[in-house]
Chain A
């Protein structure tokens, strides 16, 4: 069936650029998808893959560049237009409607109508059944409510939906992230089916074994630019990895040399029933320990357990040599472990409360006396830390919601420093903030380590990990796969290979 593959791309993007305030997400990138072929889009986190997908599905408008579908130039001002142009995306977290039936999900927006303009339920059920049979998913009943299906089956529904609108271009954005081996096999069979029908498929994954198994072509992005493309049969994994990381180091990290002091934190045999297993590491005063891995490798989950948000099933944590039992965030704070979460808006800053109350929130027990708060003490603490962090705000009574992202991050960091911690865990500390604030956070991190604080930094950004850490732990699928000292000899490729599991049998 693949013999009639033409060399005319089904969709071709050229010269696409997209910027956000302070960030250049895409710069002059191009991408072609051919009928009956799978093209893998490869790149690190932040390379611009998601932005490109959003451009192709009408969510973002490119600042410049051209999109051609079947030879005609098109604009995609809205997701509906992308849909009309035959482009559909199957996401990691499938965006469908949990409370509706499978058939309704397949046909939402283009349900078959009866003569009176009402939905023709019978025809809808029949067509849904046929579509599901076509993709080998006859086991899914069209009447099932979507929320009762697992992720693999939800993907199948999404594919059925794509077929129902005769989508010619199918984007699969990390579709295997939450699937078991068997489910991945089934999904790939389906991809083969779509290929045989002449669909053009874009496949985004971090897993090289999957890419080599399913894809025909590759396109590599790095820092918002297209750095290579071609046939997968003509390139080795090593060469692709080199393309992914081969950056010019134009970012300077203000890491100062610190002689690490005595051990403050020791974790051993730390396991969770579903998220991570056999985690062991130690952390010393003045050290910055980087945790690198793909999104979903279990790094944040470990940190949340250390902070008492989730319960580990076994393992021991020692703080200053003493066994620490941590069952709640309050106990973690008491033991001197604090956690600055990734989602600043949702988990960090309390938008709606003034700055000073944000800063003192975790220290309230310490600053109050007999259950009563001491406002003067609170203001003193807030002033002290906002000065140390160079916080830009009109007044400490200002709502944090009115501050810029960088200043909000400073409030969040101030709030944790005010508890006088021994260990500070920063989860993706610079994700989504502008370059200037990024540098300030890095500088501050370095300063903290210089003052003897032990820092754990979870980051998916290689330059940050390599620029800031003294030691780096690489995780994959809930386990530590590598622990290395960070020095000039360390190659970025080593980390990427470890995180992606290249060179081992998965």
Chain B
């Protein structure tokens, strides 16, 4: 119990809960299960994306191309659906994930094999992937009436009281929890993030592990591409433009250290929920969109300051150690 109290995830959960109840005082009815389920549903895509970004950040990299990847993969399945309405939706979901996987693998290849810094590679592909949407769609939008009913329904169908979109997020969160705590790959992400040199000596292939991180973030971006287009019923060049920074923000608020190696699945989920709650709550209590942005921004800085302080403590211990070993 004491241990839980000391984790930053616990305190972040407390903050999210306080925000929900405080809003409920100003706007009664906000904290009803139905409204909260809505907020979760609204945050589902961000949760999925934040998990993908998390593995990349853990490996001391960053993926700025996630939103462009999402938009491109989403456009591809939208066009396929428009041209061949008979293709079953699960096949399209798989196609979206595979497109994303390929795009993420492309990033990972450059980082792994050519040793180019991730921020440079993904800054490039951020623009390239979006440019490709122009090429394949000829600058056209795919409008609401162009989609097959199934394409739109597969995020909305109600299952045990929650829309399928929420269930996708729940399943992915569960899978990630398992990957990060119980698999060789998950442990490797932490090891290469905390101390890449030691990881090499322990027989872990750092480059390849980073490559897998990009594959995962890419695959989730691609899958989220289908989810986004289905949920907002539109495919265009503008889809999720600038969203890459929201994803990074969710991770940072969730306590995932930008310098790698530190972060949990619960943190990423809570970071995404925090932003989801702010976006859901502030309009209800009549706070202007400007304040929404300012509050999200302040939360990011606050999170970094708090995480930085808890990190510093251990650094001081290491230094004391270093003096001893002189």
Contact = CB atoms under 8 A, between A and B. Distances in A.
A413 interface: no
Contacts of B197: 343, 346-347
B43 to A, nearest CB: 29
Given A309-B201, A401-B321, 16 more contacts: A21-B323, A307-B201, A329-B200, A330-B203, A339-B201, A341-B201, A350-B202, A351-B194, A351-B195, A351-B314, A353-B191, A357-B190, A361-B199, A371-B183, A373-B181, A405-B324
Contacts of A408: 321
A95 interface: no
A20 B323 contact: yes
20 contacts: A309-B201, A329-B200, A346-B198, A347-B200, A348-B201, A351-B195, A351-B314, A352-B194, A352-B195, A357-B190, A361-B198, A362-B202, A364-B187, A402-B314, A402-B317, A404-B321, A405-B324, A405-B325, A408-B321, A432-B325
A358 to B, nearest CB: 9
A347 B197 CA distance: 5
A345 interface: yes
A113 interface: no
Contacts of B204: 330, 361
Given A401-B318, A405-B321, A432-B326, A350 B183 contact: no
A347 B198 contact: yes
B262 A352 contact: yes
Interface in A326-373: 328-330, 332-333, 339, 341, 343, 345-353, 357, 361-362, 364-365, 368, 371-373
B261 interface: yes
A271 B197 CA distance: 24
A206 interface: no
A375 interface: yes
Contacts of A348: 198, 201
Nearest to A409: B325
Given A309-B200, A329-B203, A350-B195, A22 B183 contact: no
Contacts of B199: 350, 361
Interface residues of A, number: 43
B324 A21 contact: yes
Contacts of A99: none
Given A345-B322, A405-B324, A405-B325, A350 B314 contact: no
Residue with the greatest number of chain A CB neighbours at <10 A, chosen from B181, B261, B325, B326? B325
Nearest to A341: B201
A361 B184 contact: no
B205 interface: yes
Interface string B163-196: 0000000000000000001111101001100110
- Majority SS of interface residues in chain B? helix
Given A329-B201, A333-B203, A347-B198, A375 B318 contact: no
A332 B203 CA distance: 8
Which 9 A-B pairs give the minimum distances between C-beta atoms?
A330-B203, A352-B194, A432-B325, A361-B202, A329-B203, A362-B202, A350-B195, A405-B325, A350-B198
B314 A399 contact: yes
B184 A368 contact: yes
Residue with the greatest number of chain B CB neighbours at <10 A, chosen from A20, A373, A408? A373
Nearest to A374: B182
A89 B182 CA distance: 52
A404 B321 CA distance: 7
Nearest to A51: B326
A433 interface: yes
Given A345-B322, A402-B317, A330 B201 contact: no
A365 to B, nearest CB: 7
A21 B324 CA distance: 6
A20 B326 contact: yes
Contacts of A345: 318, 322
Given A372-B182, A373-B183, A401-B317, A353 B201 contact: no
Nearest to B195: A350
Given A345-B318, A402-B314, A364 B184 contact: yes
A39 B203 CA distance: 47
